[in-house]
């Protein structure tokens, strides 16, 4: 039983991001450290734990078909699928060190620059031949702040999806997922194969051991092109016309002194300026 994990390389959360003056819609990359999308770690950890437990019981698989990659082979692998430029390999190595068996990287610029719906369609094409029973992804990509990818991939593979899982229980034919919504949570049963995106709290991602890091260097990262996948990126759906820093917040009021005095000033401000009282 195979598990596909959607991966992305993103700028480090601490990175200072500055729009590139020459490349519209892009950021200056020279000073930036890139990492595996933080939410992807929960997806990788969950996939690796499922495989370590002996995989899924026999259940639904995405039917492999023409146009997919001839990837199947061996029973029960967790494999990463990523769209990204060549530098994304370092993020994939991190995921391999966390326990994925191997990874596939689609690095065509046309794929890298595509919108989320197109990327989902491309990833679906890459995943199809792998016939996974489960597709896991991080809840959100912290660079584009998009959380749609798992659902889009699911649509193109004609399978169900659940986003933002805080808990996943598998019984061979379905995944029972607990996801948070405003004011509570939903327990959702998705028949397998299914795509599920993973939230913080799902598990505690491991730190890779030195051995695991060493072993990951021998694992395969296979680069595939859109031509090999038999898909095209199609017409551009959206375009970033401008990328800029948000306007700075105007300087605020600062008070210091006796707690009773500063608190009274705070109340006055809440009533007069913020008008919440």
Partner 1 sequence: MAGILVWAEVSNGEVRKASREAVAAGSKLAQMSGAPLAAVVCGDAPGAAETLGRLGAAKVFTAAGPGFEKYSSEAYAAAVAEAGQRFGAEIYLMSATALGKDLAARLAAKLDAALASDVTDVRWDSKPLTVIRPVYSSKLLATVELLSEKKVITLRPNVFPLGPERDLSAEIVPISAETNIRAQVLQALKAAEGAIDVTEARVIVSGGRGVGGADGFKVVEELAKTLRGAVGASRAAVDAGWIPYKHQVGQTGKVVSPVLYIACGISGSIQHFAGMGSSKFIIAVNTDKDAPIMEKADFAIVGDLFKVVPILKEELLKAIAK
The footprint of partner 1 on residues 83-112 (CB under 8 A) is none
Size of the site for partner 1 (CB under 8 A): 88
Q: Which of 169, 191, 209, 225 binds partner 1 (CB under 8 A)?
A: 191
Q: Which of 54, 66, 181, 217 binds partner 1 (CB under 8 A)?
A: 181
Q: Which of 49, 102, 155, 215 binds partner 1 (CB under 8 A)?
A: 155
We find the least distance from the C-beta atom of residue 122 to partner 1, in angstroms, to be 12
Q: Which of 101, 194, 198, 224 binds partner 1 (CB under 8 A)?
A: 194
Listed in sequence order, the residues at least 6 apart from 223 whose beta carbon sits closer than 8 Å to its beta carbon are 104, 105, 106, 107
Distance of CA 101 to the CA centre of its chain: 18
For residues 53 and 249, which CB has a smaller minimum distance to partner 1 in the complex? Answer: 249
For residues 109 and 234, which CB has a smaller minimum distance to partner 1 in the complex? Answer: 234
CA dihedral 52, 54, 56, 57 (to 10 degrees): -170
Residues numbered 117 to 136 that lie near partner 1 (CB under 8 A) are: 117, 120-121
d(CA 153, CA 266): 49
Residues numbered 32 to 51 that lie near partner 1 (CB under 8 A) are: 38-39
We find the least distance from the C-beta atom of residue 139 to partner 1, in angstroms, to be 9
Assess 262 for contact with partner 1 (CB under 8 A): yes
Assess 154 for contact with partner 1 (CB under 8 A): yes
Could you identify the residue written with the tokens 């679906």? 124
Q: Which of 59, 133, 161, 233 binds partner 1 (CB under 8 A)?
A: 161
Tokens of 254: 């600062």
d(CA 43, CA 195): 11
For residues 159 and 226, which CB has a smaller minimum distance to partner 1 in the complex? Answer: 159
b/e string for 196-222 if b means 16 or more Cβ within 10 A?
A: bbbbeebbebeebeeeeeeebeebebe
Assess 63 for contact with partner 1 (CB under 8 A): no
Q: How many Cα atoms are found within 13 Å in the side-chain-facing hemisphere of 98?
A: 28
We find the least distance from the C-beta atom of residue 265 to partner 1, in angstroms, to be 8
Are 70 and 129 a contacting pair, CB within 8 Å?
yes
Residues numbered 223 to 252 that lie near partner 1 (CB under 8 A) are: 235-246, 249-250, 252
- DSSP symbols for 189-212: EEESSEEEEE-TTS--PPPPPHHH
């Amino acid at each position: 039983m195979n598990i596909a994990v959607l991966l992305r390389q993103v700028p480090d959360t601490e990175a200072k991001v500055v729009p590139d003056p020459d490349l519209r819609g892009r950021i200056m990359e020279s000073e930036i450290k890139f990492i595996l999308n933080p939410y992807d770690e929960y997806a990788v950890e969950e996939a690796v734990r499922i495989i370590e437990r002996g995989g899924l019981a026999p259940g639904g698989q995405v039917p492999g078909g023409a146009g997919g990659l001839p990837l199947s082979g061996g029973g029960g692998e967790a494999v990463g699928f990523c769209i990204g430029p060549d530098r994304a390999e370092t993020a994939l190595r991190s995921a391999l060190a966390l326990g994925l068996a191997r990874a596939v990287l689609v690095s065509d610029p046309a794929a890298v620059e595509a919108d989320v719906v197109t990327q989902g369609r491309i990833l679906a094409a890459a995943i199809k031949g792998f016939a996974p029973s489960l597709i896991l992804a991080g809840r959100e990509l912290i660079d584009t702040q998009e959380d749609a990818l798992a659902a889009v991939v699911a649509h193109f593979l004609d399978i169900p999806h659940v986003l933002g899982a805080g808990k996943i229980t598998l019984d061979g034919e379905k995944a029972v997922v607990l996801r948070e919504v405003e004011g509570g949570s939903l327990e959702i049963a998705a028949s397998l194969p299914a795509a599920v995106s993973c939230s913080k709290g799902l598990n505690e991602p491991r730190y890779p051991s030195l051995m695991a890091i060493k072993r990951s260097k021998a694992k395969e990262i296979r680069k595939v092109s859109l031509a090999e996948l038999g898909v095209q990126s199609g017409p551009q759906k959206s375009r970033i016309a401008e990328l800029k820093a948000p306007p700075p917040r105007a300087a605020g009021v600062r008070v210091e002194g006796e707690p009773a005095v500063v608190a009274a000033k705070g109340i006055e401000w809440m009533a007069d300026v913020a008008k919440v009282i």
